[in-house]
Amino acid sequence: AQSVTQPDIHITVSEGASLELRCNYSYGATPYLFWYVQSPGQGLQLLLKYFSGDTLVQGIKGFEAEFKRSQSSFNLRKPSVHWSDAAEYFCAVSDLSGTASKLTFGTGTRLQVTL
Amino acid sequence: EPEVTQTPSHQVTQMGQEVILRCVPISNHLYFYWYRQILGQKVEFLVSFYNNEISEKSEIFDDQFSVERPDGSNFTLKIRSTKLEDSAMYFCASRASGMYNEQFFGPGTRLTVL
């Protein structure tokens, strides 16, 4: 069964500092990977996705993620964090084996940004 | 920009009561989903729906739950007899056809069972 691990429950960074959020996945075939962001009281917004091709993918709001098959990782990065980036970030993997393509989420990383 | 909408934003109910959570998916999408997030926990898949039938459901989605697409626009989740542990945020999502299209999520309905 597919699974996603986000080892960091809570991360605090200063505004302007760089950010890396970790994600490790377990999936038998080529994974289809996502990062979603959830602001307080809001739904889930897609930041970026990866299925194949270039292992460095660009997303919205200046985020990028790198797929590393050898490490089963899909870490999210941003070179300079803004206060508005404070939110909860979820990594997810999609099961492409059936028609459902359900998402399996990690437990999330809560990002706090200090000014 | 098209978006998934959900109503109500917050529902409070008594244990044992039936609730219906409503969703309006993006209009040209064909795949529909419900997920839930218990406070402080991760988002969990409940059920997927395609071509007017359930395509997959999780262990959570027992006989107390049902889904329906009563007309061309709405997608509903019914909980027949709510329990305290059903208290959670429920997210609806929809996806266009094509394996690699992402799911778009609604803002969620917070269900509180007293």
- Whether chain B has a CB inside 8 Å of the CB on A40: the answer is no
Is residue A89 within 8 Å of residue A111, measured between CB atoms? yes
Give the pLDDT score at A28: 73
Please state the length of chain B.
114
B50 with A100: Cβ contact below 8 A: yes
> Cα torsion for A104, A38, A67, A95, to the nearest 10°?
20
Place of tokens 């990028």: A64
pLDDT in tens, B56-82: 999 999 999 999 998 878 999 999 999
Please state the length of chain A.
115
A-facing residues of B in 55-74 (CB < 8 A) are 55-56, 58
% of chain A at pLDDT higher than 90: 74
% of chain B at pLDDT higher than 90: 82
- For residue B93, list chain A residues with Cβ-Cβ distance below 8 A: 44
